[in-house]
Structure 1
């Protein structure tokens, strides 16, 4: 029997939980043990009684969960106060974003934790199945939050995204046409904004043009086009991702200085270091924005945490199959039979086993297969 641990998230204002009662029941039906910290699901609307009915064992403290579990499932990366729980051979399955957290990478290495990152599990077609649902949520929220902070009493320039008859709509500039960018475009167009997506893949631009039937404009992403687009933006959304790596800085401070007073920036890539140079720190839902050069910067690193019910359900939908494989087959057999999961392994036996992560944190890369 393998024990799965579900601790309560400790990141400030993080109300998601990594496993729903339905997911817990699926694990229990396989004859496995699930240990849940009391109150872990409350922020997402799941009660302790529901977890007990699904076969879980409840404990009071996070330390008990970590001590009893062979595999910990979480939503967000462990914070420094959780490092004391790490132990050799324990599997940690969560969003890690190690490119922006070298101290976490070292702690995982030092304690020889087997760390699997949701965000680097990759399908053969290049898609990121465990990142996709949160990217969908964050993309849609980026427009929702951007529209709010464009309001004058929030410090914005007092612009309604869709305008009204006789008044032009706002200009929404989206850098990156992946899952985040596509969902942001969907929301912005739905609100009546003028939308421009900058993307480096010509094939992706053709796809966007086809899907949105010419309702948005696409531009090749290069410094010249980015600079011109940023200058015109009422709302600028950074939607760039390189799996496992630090987000590239595509919008410079000089570009931000050219923006309209009261314009808004939302950088969805902040948990990977940010793609906009003036996003120099992550913010929280409690204090989500700051002003720089007259521009409102929204830099919340866990945007989907604001809609935890939706986010938790969407996350468990895509993680549960991987969890079930790990508990039924064991770690090595699952990795050998599942190439997607193998790409999710960031740390194993004290080594960094993902090349982009190793490069980002400045530590040596060790191929996973050399550690068997």
Structure 2
């Protein structure tokens, strides 16, 4: 039987989500509970006491002790401060984002660690993202936050027009938030033709996005009339980017030379949060400085962990997503689950996801020195 270290704090500033919500403690089987070791003060903000965790689970220890005691680390947001604890044979199960994260990839290689990525977990015949509810909440929270920061709502003031790029779970959350704020003039640009969209949301205009010879085009005012993205986006007050990028072949919507075409105020909410992708100025922002101005007209927002705004609800959804996989890690049978094996980015220091090698320009042979 393997033990799982359950972290209740994050070195990422303002990150408040926890991986197992106390409202769902009772659903964890008895034999599984005693293999879970919690961080001191876990879920204290939700009224949980360490004495309760000691009595009903496998123990309570300091954050530092969790790294040595647990075989599997249930750590949603690993940060640089955590890398010094990486050690051979340990498994990190969370959001490592190691394709674009050189430092965490290198730390895992050097320590011969295994990284199982939440962002790469897909299941079912339609390959639904296991954390799709968290992704929906990311879209909802980002739009809500930016609209508050910019002092706008669709129910009062001037009429607002919004574009949503992509139509996955994040986009659904963004659309639902826009509608809840009274913004009803919403257009969605998807790479799929309209008739192939899965469960479209009512009262939304759907248009197509086209990739041709490495360039991106958006459908204009006329059906199947594809033009450069800036010619379309410059007409919107709010642009929400929800595209799932391929880091090796990114989609671009606004390049530096396009700035002269933008002559009105535009709020860009970049939920994809991919540095240098989508927009030439794209980079993650923080809750301390959530947005910045680009040129005279663009206000750009790119906080990369918006669900933490609704940390209680987000933690509940995370728990529902991971609950069924806990026994497999504890019993040591997780490699028999295709959802988990497909999410292995690095295994015992060996790179499994070749996109890490391509994006980081590494040598394809161990120890994967950068070129």
Check whether TM > 0.5. Answer: yes
Equivalent positions of 1:1-372 (< 5 A) are: 1-7=1-7, 8-21=9-22, 26=28, 28-30=30-32, 32-42=34-44, 46-60=48-62, 62-76=63-77, 78-123=78-123, 125=125, 127-151=127-151, 159-162=152-155, 169-193=159-183, 194-202=185-193, 206-207=196-197, 211-221=200-210, 222-223=216-217, 224-242=227-245, 248-256=251-259, 258-270=261-273, 274-279=277-282, 281-294=283-296, 295-328=298-331, 330=332, 333-335=333-335, 337-363=336-362
CA, structure 1 residues 175+43, in 2 after alignment: closer, same or farther (shift >3 Å)?
Answer: farther
TM-score scaled by length of structure 2: 0.84
- Per the TM alignment, residue 66 of structure 1 is displaced from its structure 2 partner at its CA by 0.4
- RMSD between aligned residues: 2.7
- After superposition, the C-alpha distances for 1:54-80 in whole angstroms (9 at most, x for unaligned) are 4141113x211101111100111x222
SS at match of 1:72: strand
- Per the TM alignment, residue 21 of structure 1 is displaced from its structure 2 partner at its CA by 3.3
CA distance in 1, matches of 2:125, 2:275: 22
Which runs of 5 or more residues in structure 1 are unaligned?
Answer: 152-158, 367-372
Q: Is the 8 A contact 2:3 2:70 kept in 1?
A: yes
Task: Choose between structure 1 and 2: higher helix proportion.
Answer: 1
CA distance in 2, matches of 1:227, 1:303: 26
SS at match of 1:100: coil
SS at match of 2:87: coil
User: 2:213 — aligned with what?
Assistant: none
SS at match of 1:356: helix
- Per the TM alignment, residue 300 of structure 1 is displaced from its structure 2 partner at its CA by 0.8
Q: Is the 8 A contact 1:120 1:343 kept in 2?
A: yes
- Per the TM alignment, residue 130 of structure 1 is displaced from its structure 2 partner at its CA by 3.0
SS at match of 1:250: strand
CA, structure 1 residues 44+135, in 2 after alignment: closer, same or farther (shift >3 Å)?
Answer: farther
- Per the TM alignment, residue 112 of structure 1 is displaced from its structure 2 partner at its CA by 0.8
- Per the TM alignment, residue 242 of structure 1 is displaced from its structure 2 partner at its CA by 3.9
User: 2:224 — aligned with what?
Assistant: none
Task: Choose between structure 1 and 2: higher strand proportion.
Answer: 2
CA distance in 2, matches of 1:100, 1:45: 37
CA distance in 1, matches of 2:300, 2:60: 41
Which runs of 5 or more residues in structure 2 are unaligned?
Answer: 211-215, 218-226, 366-371
CA, structure 1 residues 123+31, in 2 after alignment: closer, same or farther (shift >3 Å)?
Answer: closer
- Per the TM alignment, residue 135 of structure 1 is displaced from its structure 2 partner at its CA by 0.9
TM-score scaled by length of structure 1: 0.83
